[in-house]
């Protein structure tokens, strides 16, 4: 449970650009899996999770530009309205970059509550775009916000463990 407390700072090696790009590509692949039924409604936005993680941990290297590119790729992969994911991910990246110092102060439990607001903004963009295109609100989009928020802590722990493993090997 040392991951949950911010009082034990640990040295982590800077992440390579290859690792960041590969994690975004894996997230795009996970979003493109054929989800059906209730799982489609509960599907978290893996790209948003990964982009928010990198925007809060490496804000000088990952930001609005990469989020916009990932959003365009997600729009093409999802066959959704062109620019929908790009707009949502740029707002997500802006929130992550602006709040990165604040999120680093908190432990993972407190970060999760902060991240919920950022994901709510992102999913709110999905709801608004769908409302403008089809004329009705799809409230089921917001369930993905909850599952994305619940996956924040496991994803953070996994990425921290992968970064620490590199330090321990050398």
Q: What are the sequence ranges of the domains in the chain? A: 10-169
Helix (H) or strand (E) holding 109: helix 108-134
Q: What is the pTM of this model?
A: 0.87
Half-sphere exposure of 147 (CA within 13 A, CB side): 14
pLDDT of residue 7: 45
Please check whether residue 88 is in contact with residue 65, taking contact to mean a CB–CB distance below 8 angstroms: no
Buried b (16+ CB within 10 A) or exposed e, 38-73: eeeeebbbbbbbbbbbbbbbbbeebbbebbbebbeb
The answer to whether residue 167 scores a pLDDT higher than 50 is no
Residue 138: pLDDT band by 50, 70, 90 thresholds? Answer: confident
The answer to whether residue 10 scores a pLDDT higher than 70 is no
The C-alpha atoms of residue 83 and residue 75 are separated, in whole angstroms, by 7
The answer to whether residue 169 scores a pLDDT higher than 60 is no
């Amino acid at each position: 449970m040392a991951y949950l407390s911010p009082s034990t700072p640990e040295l982590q090696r800077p992440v390579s650009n290859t690792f960041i790009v590969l994690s975004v590509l894996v997230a795009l692949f996970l979003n493109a899996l054929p989800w059906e039924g209730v799982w489609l409604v509960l599907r978290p936005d893996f790209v948003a999770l990964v982009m928010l993680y990198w925007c809060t941990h490496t804000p000088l290297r990952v930001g609005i530009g990469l989020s916009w590119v990932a959003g365009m790729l997600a729009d093409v992969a999802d066959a959704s309205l062109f620019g929908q994911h790009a707009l949502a991910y740029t707002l997500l990246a802006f929130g992550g970059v602006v709040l990165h110092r604040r999120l680093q102060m908190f432990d993972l439990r407190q970060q999760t509550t902060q991240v919920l607001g950022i994901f709510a903004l992102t999913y709110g963009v999905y709801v608004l775009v769908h409302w403008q295109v089809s004329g009705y609100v799809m409230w089921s989009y917001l369930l993905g916000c909850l599952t994305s928020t619940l996956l924040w802590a496991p994803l953070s722990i996994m990425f921290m463990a992968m970064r620490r493993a590199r330090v321990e090997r050398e």
